[in-house]
Amino acid sequence: QVQVMESGGGSVQTGGSLRLSCVISEYTYKSNCIAWFRQAPGKEREGITAIYTTASTTYGEDSMKQHFTISQDKSKNTVYLQMNNLKLEDTAMYYCVAGPWSACRAPLPATEFFYWGQGTQVSVSS
């Protein structure tokens, strides 16, 4: 069973930055696309960006790429989400998810990711 664990959330002021980390227990054909989703209270879940770990190819909506950057350290089985110039509307629970390569596309298909982390809270205040 693949396990996914996020960390790095916290409280930050507007304009600040945070880097979230996601450790994946193992990469398999079912878990070589790693993505980040978020969900704010009262809002729908939203896909942010993804990385196909084999080729380090990234995917996601252009609007998200403006201040969200995904990267990986294969030696540590870790994927990162660098978040810059944070805004109040970025406040949400952020989830790291793992799925097959076919899930690595825009828009990110939440239902095709098999493994989900518990989430890490990001709170942005003015």
- Tell me the pLDDT of the chain averaged across its residues: 95
Token code pair at residue 43: 């809002």
Give me the pLDDT at residue 61, please: 81
pLDDT over 90 (residue 121): yes
SS3 62: helix
C-alpha 108/C-alpha 79 separation (Å) is: 17
Per-residue pLDDT tens for 77-112? 999 999 999 999 999 999 999 999 999 999 999 999
SS3 105: coil
> Residue with structure tokens 């069973």?
1
pLDDT over 90 (residue 25): yes
DSSP string, 10-28: EEEETT--EEEEEEES---
